């Protein structure tokens, strides 16, 4: 956990634009050094120049989060520049979707490698570095409201974001005794370039995917993103959550009713299980998962 931000360092993947740049700006305004790690090196360098004009000390590093060695090299550059890293924002992400059965194998590989494995690589790379300096730290893993609500055509994206939520919920319990906090960011619609993800698609994944989804749904999604929050507002919201050591970071309270509808459907499923004739034959239950209430 971090109580004093001044002079410390934040490392932000996907930091050249959108939510990543919004977070970098918020941490920089709090007195932190910031490292903008992005697959688009020129965009990251341009963003650093804009931050410098705002009196924010920043460094650009090229980083493909789907490549563990690239993440390690970016971490070494960050340490070489500022000595220590305290806040790590595993933020880089891409979007692809479509009707069931229509996605190519490389589309699945791409979105899983970036959105899911990128968070794993960032966490596993920086955890020993944060532990080594003993000054505390914090991870911010960018998921989405799509990590709690899955819509038709969005399943590949939602699958990776559900995974980020799940990993974060487990890791926060492991990191707390080390003095390291963790937050999972689940934003609603934000004005980003997620709909243009194919611009950064690495050659090893083959030709660019068509986008998040197609047809009318794609148009509706694009309109919602365009009308979304300013990324700087999201960045400030993230800063608040890191300062207060919150696990969940939401940016649009209006999604609460939709999440409650999902929870209601889950509760109904448990009610059906409680009334099940098949389950009435069970005489003894195995213990629940570690840490869960053992009420039988």
Give the bridge partners for 87, in sequence order: 10, 138
Q: In b/e form, how buried is each residue of 181-204, taking b as 16+ CB within 10 angstroms? A: bbbbbbbbbbbbebeebbebbeee
* Separation between Cα atoms, residue 176 and residue 284, nearest integer Å: 34
Q: Is 78 helix (H, G, I), strand (E, B) or coil?
A: helix
| 61 phi and psi angles, rounded to 5 deg | -135, 140
Nearest to 156 by CA among 82, 105, 84, 231: 105
Catalytic residue among 157, 162, 205, 248: 157
Record the tokens describing residue 59, joined without a space. Answer: 């460094």
The torsion defined by the Cα of 170, 273, 151 and 292, in degrees rounded to 10, comes to -10
Active-site annotation holds for 162: no
CA dist 135 and 84 (Å) reads: 9
Whole-number Å distance between alpha carbons of 82 and 13:
16
Q: Residue for token digits 């590093």?
A: 61
Determine which helix (DSSP H) or strand (DSSP E) holds 217, and give its type and residue range: helix 215-226
Cβ(143)–Cβ(164) under 8 Å?
yes
Catalytic center residues: 157
């Amino acid at each position: 956990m971090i109580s004093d931000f001044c002079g410390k360092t934040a490392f932000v993947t996907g930091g050249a634009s959108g939510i990543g740049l919004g977070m970098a700006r918020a941490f920089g305004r709090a007195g932190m050094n910031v490292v903008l790690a992005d697959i688009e090196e020129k965009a990251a360098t341009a963003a650093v120049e804009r931050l410098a004009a705002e009196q924010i000390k920043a460094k650009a590093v090229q980083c493909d989060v789907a490549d563990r060695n690239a993440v390690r090299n970016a971490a070494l550059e960050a340490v070489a520049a500022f000595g220590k890293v305290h806040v790590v924002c595993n933020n880089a992400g891409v979007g692809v979707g479509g009707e069931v059965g229509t996605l190519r194998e490389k589309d699945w590989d791409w979105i899983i490698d970036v959105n899911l494995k990128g968070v794993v690589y960032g966490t596993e790379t920086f955890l020993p570095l944060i532990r080594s300096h003993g000054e505390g730290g914090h991870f911010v893993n960018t998921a989405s409201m799509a990590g709690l609500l899955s819509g038709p055509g969005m399943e590949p994206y939602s699958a990776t974001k559900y995974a980020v939520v799940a990993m974060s919920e487990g890791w926060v319990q492991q990191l707390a005794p080390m003095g390291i906090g963790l937050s999972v960011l689940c934003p609603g619609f934000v004005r980003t370039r997620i709909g243009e993800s194919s611009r950064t698609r690495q050659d090893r994944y083959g030709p660019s995917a068509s986008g998040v989804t197609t047809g009318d749904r794609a148009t509706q999604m694009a309109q919602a993103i365009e009308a979304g929050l300013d990324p700087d507002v999201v960045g400030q919201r993230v800063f608040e959550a890191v300062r207060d050591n919150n696990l969940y970071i939401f940016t649009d309270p209006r999604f609460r009713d939709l999440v409650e509808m999902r929870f209601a459907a889950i509760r109904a499923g448990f009610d059906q299980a409680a009334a099940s004739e098949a389950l009435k034959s069970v005489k003894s239950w195995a213990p629940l998962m570690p840490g869960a209430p053992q009420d039988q």
